[in-house]
Amino acid sequence: MQRFFIEVAYDGAGFSGFQIQENAPTIQSAIEEVFQIFFRNEISLTGSSRTDAGVHAVQNFFHFDWEGGWSNLWIYNLNALLPEGIAIRSVRAVCADAHARFDALARRYRYVVYTRKDPFLRDRGWHYPYRLDRSLLEELAGMVTEGSDFRSFSKRNTQVKTFDCLVMESHWEWKEGVLEYHVKANRFLRGMVRALVSTMLQVGRGNRSRADFLQLLEGTRAHAADFSAPAQGLYLEEVSYPADIFLEQGGSNRYVVED
């Protein structure tokens, strides 16, 4: 039995999230279904990161165990069976104990905010037509990398042992009426990126204070951030792994990070 990582991209609209759910369309259930149809063989997928309903991914991963060899020619056939909103990008053999979730070194997210009406971003970002202090937003983003306890930015009923996260990158970019927040960390809590975005925008708009945001970063007020940022503006951009878990080196290594 060989273990493989399967790299996928998807438009989250129309799906009830990443992980399989009873009586609801998800990314995992769609991929498992096409494997069953094409190979007449069931597989069980384990995901690298759970994304909520409506959240998109430029890159996400599952791992699965497979009897026998794998031909990349099959990717075309599987993509032909998948819904238009899901695409398999690659399938690569990995070590027998490699785990899509626990071996991930970091994840990178992007959140899209647009300040003027744009019909092409309606389902791809958050329309936020308010005056914002962009220099203050960038200052707040820099503060995020200094935080460690993010319980204030975690939704309730999150079953985790710790709220500690190591945020490696955090910054805003402005592109002709579109404001993008970029953040990379070793792990993220449930709702964390959307909470960071909406709370920073509240401060940048003048509805909350800089001091209040700093207090939230100290982790003393659980679940006290603003969670109003909608799902359609959020994109999982990248999941990175140590290179030595992949059995076949060479080729594209765009999602491999050395130890």
Structure tokens at 130: 């308010």
**Domains of the chain, each with CATH number or no CATH:** 2-103 (3.30.70.580), 107-236 (3.30.70.660)
Q: In the prediction, which pLDDT does 42 show?
A: 86
Cα 147 from chain centroid? 20
Our answer to whether residue 226 is catalytic in this structure is: no
CA dihedral 67, 72, 73, 75 (to 10 degrees): 90
Q: How confident is the prediction for the chain on average, in pLDDT? A: 90
- Per-residue pLDDT of 236-252, as tens digits, reads 999 999 999 998 754 34
pLDDT number for residue 73? 93
Given a cut of 50, whether residue 253 has pLDDT beyond it is: no
pLDDT of residue 251: 39
pLDDT for residue 54 is more than 90? no
pLDDT at 199 over 80: yes
Choosing from 11, 52, 226, 244, which is the catalytic residue?
Answer: 52
User: How confident is the model at residue 196, as a pLDDT?
Assistant: 98
How high is the pLDDT of residue 249?
54
DSSP calls for 22-61? TTB--HHHHHHHHHHHHHS-----EESS---TT-EEEEEE
Residue 259's pLDDT is 44
Tell me the per-residue pLDDT of 100-131, one tens digit each, with 9 for 90 and over. 999 999 999 999 999 999 999 988 999 999 99
The whole model's pTM is what? Answer: 0.90
